[in-house]
Structure 1
Amino acid sequence: MKKLNIYIIAIALFAFGCDATYIDDIVPVAVGPDEEAPEVVINFPLDGTQIRVPEAVTNLNINFEVSDDIEIESVIVRLNGTELLQVTDFLDYRRLVRTFNYDQLGNGEHILSIEAKDLSGKTTTETVIFEKIEPYDPVYDGEIFYLPFDGDYLELVSVEEAAINGSPGFATGIKGRAYQGSSSGYLTFPTEGLRNQEFSAAFWYKVNPSPDRAGILVMGPPDPNNPTNQNFRNHGFRLFREAAGSMQRVKLNVGNGSGDNWFDGGAAADIDPSKNEWVHIAISISGSRAAVYLDGQVVSQGTFPGIDWTGCDLLSIGSGAPRFSEWGHLSTQSLIDELRIFSKALTQAEIQAIIDTDRL
C-alpha cells in the first residue's frame, strides 16, 4: 500500500510539472559582444593619501572594486611593481569587491596599481601614489601634542584622530591647511598625558567676529549641577574670545581647585577682525603663574595657586562646548592652525622661536 501511494504521488507531481499552466516559457538571455573594458575603482588608499602611524612598518588594507559588462578573467594587485595578489576565480564573474591586507608597508612613497582583464583581452589599469610618513618626532622641548590640520584632524604625537562634532572644514593656513570653524563644529580629544602641573598651548588664529563670542580651547570638568549649560570653573582652563566694541578680546580662565583665576588683558588682548590677519596665541601656565601672549607679547599675566585638573578628561578645540557653554562661548567660525601643547610653561623666548619657525 505504501509503494502504491508513493507511485500515485509521483504521477501527480509529474502531471502538474508538465502542465503548461504551471511553467513559464524559457526565455533565452541574449549576451552581446564584449564591448567595454573592465572598470577599476580604488577606494583606499587614494591618490595622495598620507599614512601616519607610530610603527616603522604597518598594515595596509587595500580596498578596490572591479566590474565588467561580460566577464572578468583576472585581477592583479601590484605595489611598487611587485605582484601582491592575483585573482582568477570569481563568485560573481562580472563584479569583484575586495579588501586585501598587506602587512609590510614601510616608510616612503608607494605606487599601487590594479590591473583587470576581461575574457576578450581588454585590460584596464588604475594607479594611485600614496605615502607612509615617518612617525612624527616632536620639534620643541616639552612638546606633547601637535595638530597641524593638514587636511585631517590627526594629532601626530599620539597618532590619534579627533572626535568630530558638527561640520568643521579646512582652509588655507599659515602653513599648509588650517582648521575652518563652522556654526556648530568643534573637535575633542581625551586628555590622557596632557594634564601636567605645567601646561602651555600655542597656535595661530585668524578671527571671524561672527558669532561675537566663542570658545577656542577648553579643558574643563563636567558640571553635574548644570548639565545642559555647563560652566564649572574650579578646575582646568577656558581660553575664549568675546566682543569688545569692534574688537575681539582673548581671555583665559584657570581653575585652582577651590575657585578660578582670570587673566584678562583688556585692550592689550584685543584682535582686530578687520585686518583679517593671522595672530599667534599662546598660554603658559606654571605652578604659580599664568600668562597669555599675542604675537609673542604678554597681554595678561599674574600669580595664582596652580591649576587643578580634577575631572578634566576632555579637550575641546574650536568651541567651549560641551564643558563651557553657559555664557554662549560656543563654536568659532575662525581659522586655527599649528596647534601645539607642552608639558612645561613656555617662556617668551620659546614662544617667539615657534613664531619665527612657523613664518619661515
Structure 2
Amino acid sequence: MKKINLILTILFLALSSCEQSYIDDIQEVDPGEDMEAPSINVNFPLEGTQIRVVEDVTNITIDAEVTDDIEIEWVIFILNGEEITRFDDFRDFRRALLQYEFEGLENGDHLLEIVARDIVGNETSESVSFTKLEPYRPVYDNEIFYLPFDGDFTELVRISNPTVSGTGLGFAEGKVGRAYRGSSDGYLTYPADNLTNQEFSAVFWYKLNGSPDRAGLLVMSAPDETNSTNQNFRDKGFRLFREAAGPNQRFKLNVGNGSGENWFDGGPAADVDPGQDDWTHIAITINQQSCTVYLNGEVVSQGTYPGIDWENCDIISIGSGAPRFVGWGHLSTQSLIDELRIFDAVLSQEQIQTIMENDMN
C-alpha cells in the first residue's frame, strides 16, 4: 500500500510540474486593442535584384516575413499585378515566415507586391522592383568565358561567380562600360574545369598602373606540392604576367609542358610604358605545338614547344599570380582589366584585331 501511495505522489508532483512549466502563459487579447498594421520584410527578391541565369525562363523563391502585434488574417503575393498565392493559415499567428516558388519567370522588369491584413482589417503593403536579365549569348565562335566587369564579377557564359580574395577590388571606367579595378592584395579565382582544352585563347584590355613593378595577370597553374606557402610550380598550365624592364613593364608568358617550362618573352617588343595613359589590348593563344603573345593586335612573341599539360590546373586566377604563382612576387595588379574573353580555339591575328575593333566602336 505504501508503494502505491508513493507512486501516486510522484505522479501528482510530475503533473503539477508540467502544468507550471510553460515559458509564457497564453493571454487572451482583445482584438479591439489592435491599432497597428502588420509589418512586412521582403527577404528575396530585394529592390533592384538582378536575376542572371543561363535560361530565358527560370523559377524563383519569394521569401518574406510578416509580423503583427495581435493576429495576421492573411497575406497575398502579387506579381506584375496578378495574385500568385495567398496565405491564411499560420502556425504562429503573430509571425509568419513565408516562401513561395514562382515558376516561369521570364526576362524583363518585374514588380512584386506583398499585402498583409490583420484580424481587425489593418493592411500593409510592400513592393520591390527586380529584373530577370536576358542570358548572355556568346558573340564569337568558340567563346567559353566572358567577364565584362560591368559592376559585378559574374562570368556570363556559364553564370559563374568567383572566390574574391583580399580587399579593395572595385570598378572604374572601362574600355567598354565598366572595368575591374585591382587593389594591393585583391584578386579573383574561378573554376577552370571548362578551360583546360587542347586549344586556348584569351583576350582582354589592360590599363597599366606600374605600381607594383611586377604582377600576375592570368594564371592557371597546378598546386605546388613541395612549397604550399610560396607556390611556383611551372611544369603545368600557364602564367601570364608583367615585370619591370628598365622604365617599362614587360609582358611575358610561361607555359608548362609536363616535364619542364617554356618561355615566350618578346623582349622590348612586349614592353609598355607605365607613363602612358591608354589601354593595351593583350591576347595569348596556346595549342599543343605553339604559343603566341599579342599586344594591340601585333605579335610580340611566338614559338614552338612540346605542348601544354593541364593536369591539376583547376582554377584560373585573374588580377594576380596568387595563389599558385607567388614565388617570384607576381602578386596583385592595381591596374584596370576589361572585356576578358576565353576561347577553346586558337584565334588568328585577324580575329584578334576584329575583336579589338569591335570593342573600340
- Shorter-normalised TM-score: what interval? 0.7 to 0.9
Whole-angstrom distance in 2 between the partners of 1:7 and 1:346? 89
1:287 alignment partner in structure 2: 288
Further displaced range: 291-300 or 214-223 = 291-300
1:258 alignment partner in structure 2: 259
Whole-angstrom distance in 1 between the partners of 2:31 and 2:214? 66
Do the aligned partners of residues 32 and 318 (structure 1) sit closer, same or farther apart at CA in structure 2, a change above 3 Å counting?
Answer: farther
Whole-angstrom distance in 2 between the partners of 1:356 and 1:159? 26
CA drift at 1:136:
2.5
* Partner-residue secondary structure (3-state), 2:204: strand
Alignment of 1:199-214 (within 5 A): 199-214=200-215
Residue 90 of structure 1 pairs with residue 93 of structure 2: no
Whole-angstrom distance in 2 between the partners of 1:225 and 1:177? 40
1:357 alignment partner in structure 2: 358
Residue 99 of structure 1 pairs with residue 99 of structure 2: yes
Further displaced range: 236-245 or 286-295 = 286-295
Residue 315 of structure 1 pairs with residue 325 of structure 2: no
1:57 alignment partner in structure 2: 57
CA drift at 1:170:
2.9
Whole-angstrom distance in 2 between the partners of 1:201 and 1:8? 84
Do the aligned partners of residues 30 and 326 (structure 1) sit closer, same or farther apart at CA in structure 2, a change above 3 Å counting?
Answer: farther
2:328 alignment partner in structure 1: 327
CA drift at 1:236:
1.1
2:22 alignment partner in structure 1: none
Alignment of 1:118-133 (within 5 A): 118-133=118-133
Do the aligned partners of residues 126 and 295 (structure 1) sit closer, same or farther apart at CA in structure 2, a change above 3 Å counting?
Answer: farther
Do the aligned partners of residues 231 and 125 (structure 1) sit closer, same or farther apart at CA in structure 2, a change above 3 Å counting?
Answer: same
1:269 alignment partner in structure 2: 270
* Partner-residue secondary structure (3-state), 1:152: coil
| TM-score, normalization by structure 1 | 0.85
CA drift at 1:341:
0.5
1:66 alignment partner in structure 2: 66
Alignment of 1:8-23 (within 5 A): 9=9
* Partner-residue secondary structure (3-state), 2:328: coil
**Number of residue pairs aligned between Structure 1 and Structure 2:** 352
1:42 alignment partner in structure 2: 42
Does the 8 Å contact 2:169/2:187 carry over to 1? no
CA drift at 1:150:
2.8
Whole-angstrom distance in 2 between the partners of 1:27 and 1:305? 82
2:239 alignment partner in structure 1: 238
Does the 8 Å contact 1:174/1:204 carry over to 2? yes
Do the aligned partners of residues 126 and 245 (structure 1) sit closer, same or farther apart at CA in structure 2, a change above 3 Å counting?
Answer: farther
2:111 alignment partner in structure 1: 111
CA drift at 1:171:
1.0
Whole-angstrom distance in 2 between the partners of 1:141 and 1:27? 70
Residue 347 of structure 1 pairs with residue 348 of structure 2: yes
Alignment of 1:176-215 (within 5 A): 176-215=177-216
Do the aligned partners of residues 268 and 125 (structure 1) sit closer, same or farther apart at CA in structure 2, a change above 3 Å counting?
Answer: farther
Does the 8 Å contact 1:168/1:179 carry over to 2? no
| TM-score, normalization by structure 2 | 0.85
Percent of aligned pairs with the same residue? 60
Whole-angstrom distance in 1 between the partners of 2:187 and 2:319? 5
Does the 8 Å contact 1:149/1:170 carry over to 2? no
* Partner-residue secondary structure (3-state), 2:356: helix
Whole-angstrom distance in 2 between the partners of 1:125 and 1:207? 50
For residue 101 of structure 1, what is the amino acid of its counterpart?
Answer: E
Further displaced range: 194-203 or 26-35 = 26-35
Runs of 4+ in 1 over 6 A off after TM superposition: 26-32
Do the aligned partners of residues 36 and 193 (structure 1) sit closer, same or farther apart at CA in structure 2, a change above 3 Å counting?
Answer: same
CA drift at 1:327:
0.6
Whole-angstrom distance in 2 between the partners of 1:275 and 1:36? 64
Further displaced range: 341-350 or 176-185 = 176-185
For residue 229 of structure 1, what is the amino acid of its counterpart?
Answer: N
In the TM superposition, what whole-angstrom CA distance separates every residue of 1:30-70 from its partner, at most 9, and x where no partner exists? 99955544332322222332222233332201122223444
Does the 8 Å contact 2:111/2:128 carry over to 1? yes
Does the 8 Å contact 1:168/1:186 carry over to 2? no
2:170 alignment partner in structure 1: 170
C-alpha RMSD of matched pairs (Å): 3.3
Gap regions ≥5 residues in structure 2: 18-25
